[in-house]
Every structure is written in structure tokens, then in C-alpha cells.
Structure 1
């Protein structure tokens, strides 16, 4: 896909890409994207993020170790996780998550709900960064508490939009949280850091059957409340 020429176009064309071409991304370009993302806002300019970039043999070694851990069921469930377990999401988030899964696995990949092997096979692709030539792992210091996750999210969005400006695509992958012990064996992650996500970075394979998959968005009126002076009534507090 062509580079996004405006912020609006970058926002509109950004998606979670799950099929990449093997086309290399030069290190200088990755460094430029990370420099742009580092201009993101953070609480008191704390900049609590760190990024670990993997290519070539280093990426292959991590992928092999992650797949081994996945196949052996060595998930670090509940450890240092910032999101609920799969069966603990409350509504309306549970339904949205279910619709996402149906759209991806059933409608796009044609995998039935009881096709455990097929669905597991697709999920394994997470740990090869969906074939992207560049894999990144984003971590954040726990010292600023939960506010650091907001800062990490701003950095992540900045990176994804900057990638679109360069004609690249990304996929933020929370699946890496479950295998943070494996990541720590391969990467120099400070003890006080939380794994936020993995990030696949590269050129999209638009001919792949996942190339056309898009998720829906809730309409503005479902999550926004507008206030104006005519609609607000102020009452004096009782003395």
C-alpha cells in the first residue's frame, strides 16, 4: 500500500496486519520511525518506554523459543498481565472480542469453532510476527504505575501512524504478554519493566487472504457525550 500522505489518511488506513511480505526494512528507516514515535506525549515527559528490535537470526531464535513454549503450554498466565483472562472480559467488551474472533477465524480464515488445530495454527503465527521482517517488543517501567501504560499507548500509536506514513504496516500483539519469561531470556528487559506487546512491522501482503480483513468501529454517538452551556444546570451545594 502506498504511504499515507496525511494524518487523516494514516488513521484511516492503519490496521492490524496479519500477513507480511519478506521485503526487508532498512535499519535506518526503523530508527527514523522510532525517533518519530518518541515525540509522543508522556506524563511529565517521563518517557517510560523501551523498545527491543529483532531481525534476522535474533528474531528467528526468539520465534523458535516462543513456539516451543506455546506448544508445551508454558503460558505465564496472570503474571504481570494488564488485561483480563480470555473468559473474564465483561460486556460490552466480551461481545466485541467475540465478534472479532468470528470475523477473523470463521469468516476470513474459514476455521470452524471446533477446529482447534486450525485455530491454534493461526495463533502460532503471532510468534513469528506474522512473517514480518522486523519484530519489536515494547516494554514500560512500572515505576510510574498505571500511567506508564497510557504513555506506552501513545508511543505505540505514534509508531503505527509513522509506519503508515512510510508505506509500512504494523500489528500490535498482546499475545506476547503470556510469554514474558521467554522474552526476558532473549532480551535485556529491566526487572521493573512490564511487557506491553509485540509489534510486527513490514510491508503488507495484500494478496494474502487476510489482506482484506478489517474490523468495525462503534459509531461516535455510542461513546461520546456532548455538553454545551444550554444543557448544563448548576445547582448550589447545600450549606
Structure 2
């Protein structure tokens, strides 16, 4: 099969997308953010319900949210819990091994050994600064929506990340924010009927940071031709 120019561009953008964990302070133009989110909204959704809602955070409000979550994250008596289970309650193979591998691959790059609990805690806390990205995104969904709408939401999130990558921007989708949905709701004045789905960092990757050299593996054995 002859590869067309369009196929090559799409394939390259998908393959180039990675979760970036260190960003430059270089600002992102509001027009670019607006266009990314407009294009992403072309994602399919059952009966065109479009269940996604996004809050774009920059400047003071982003800093305020980061400060408040970090205060809770660093509190030894932290009791904040996720509102929904992103991960399985019981881990099984091969998912547990994959999770452990990506974690230790990242910590190894950063020089964090298993005994360095404080260092790992601090690195996890960088989620809540949006890894220093100039733009933070918080995604919510109406509580009445069911599992199908969450599938739709995943396609929307992927569109956001690909539209950003096509414009020379990078992202990191972050389920870590779900633990602090109560803080997010209060700080952003979210309506009671909205549930936090995840956060996302958006900006320009810092090429000097070792953590951005991490490339995760993909297992293609799940492909079955029948």
C-alpha cells in the first residue's frame, strides 16, 4: 500500500505524542488553545451528546489551584480520596508489571531509588504544578452521564493531545488531579453536578529535562486477526 502524505502526517503526529513532565515557561497563545479545543470537539459521541467540559487555567488561578492542592498533598494527615476508581481495585498481570515498569523507568531517569520516598513524593507533587506548563486544563463531566459517555470523553482527550502536538505543543494527561476533586470544585467554583475527569498540562516541552526522554513501550500482542 502506498502511503499518502496525509497518512504520513497523521501517523507521525500520533507516534510523536508523549506524556511530557517538564515544560518551558514560554506562553501559549490563547488563539492556539481555542483552536485546539474547537478541533478536539469534533470527537464522536453517542447521539452527539458531547459530554466534555474544560476549564482553561493560566496565571493566578492556575497558581492558586496548584498551591492549594500541594498543601494537601504535602500534609502527612492527607485524607483526600478519588471520587471514582481510575485504576483497578485488584491489580493483575500484565497491567501491574506495565505500571511498575513505567514508574521505575521514570524514577531511574531522575535518579530516584526505591528508598527515596521523599523524592518520589515530590516528583508526584509536580503533577499539581502542571509540570510548570503555562496552561493547565481541568476536564469535567456531568454526573448523570454513564460509561458510554466516558468512552466518548477519551476520544475527545486524545483529540486535544493530537491537535496540540500538530501545533508544536506538548501535553500530559493527569488522573492525579482526581484525588483532589473537592479542592478543584471549591477553587474553580464548579457546579455540584460536575465530576472531575482528569487534568492536563499544555505547553512547550523542555528538551533539557531528562524525564522528557522517557519513551514508553507498547505491547502489540493484543492484536488478533481472526
* TM-score above 0.5: yes
SS in structure 2 at match of 1:139: strand
CA shift for structure 1 position 50: 0.5
Match of 2:36 among 33, 37, 51: 33
Q: How far apart are the structure 1 equivalents of 2:82 and 2:162? A: 31
C-alpha deviation, 1:183, in angstroms: 0.4
Report what 1:236 is aligned to. Answer: none
CA distance in 2, matches of 1:81, 1:194: 13
In structure 2, the residue matched to 1:100 is 102
Q: How many residues align?
A: 218
SS of residue paired to 1:170: strand
Q: Which has the larger radius of gyration?
A: 1
Alpha-carbon shift at residue 186 of structure 1 (Å)? 1.3
Shift of 1:74: 2.8
The residue aligned with 1:80 is 84
Contact 2:36 2:160 in 1 (8 A): yes
8 Å contact kept, 1:135–1:199: yes
Q: Alpha-carbon deviation of 1:141? A: 1.9
CA RMSD of aligned residues (A): 1.4
Unaligned runs of at least 5 residues, structure 2: 1-7
Shift, 1:130, TM fit? 0.3
Cα deviation for residue 42 of structure 1 reads 0.6
Deviation at 1:62, TM superposition (A): 0.5
Q: Spell out, residue by residue over 1:170-219, the C-alpha distance to the aligned partner (whole angstroms, 9 max, x if none).
A: 00001001110010011133323221111000000011111211111112
Q: Distance in 1 between matches of 2:85 and 2:91?
A: 14
Q: Are the aligned partners of 1:48 and 1:151 in contact in 2 as well (CA < 8 Å)?
A: yes
TM-score by length of 2: 0.92
1:33 positional shift: 0.3
Question: Which ranges in structure 1 are unaligned for 5 or more consecutive residues?
Answer: 228-239
Q: Do the aligned partners of 1:51 and 1:138 also contact (CA within 8 Å) in 2? A: yes
Q: TM-score, normalised by structure 1?
A: 0.87
Question: Compared with structure 1, are the counterparts of its residues 36 and 217 closer, same or farther at alpha carbon in structure 2 (3 Å cutoff)?
Answer: same
The structure-2 alpha-carbon separation of the partners of 1:78 and 1:32, relative to structure 1 and needing over 3 Å to count, comes to: closer
State how 1:1-239 maps to structure 2 within 5 Å: 6-72=9-75, 73-84=77-88, 88-106=90-108, 108-219=109-220, 222-227=221-226
In 1: Cα distance, 2:136 partner to 2:87 partner: 22
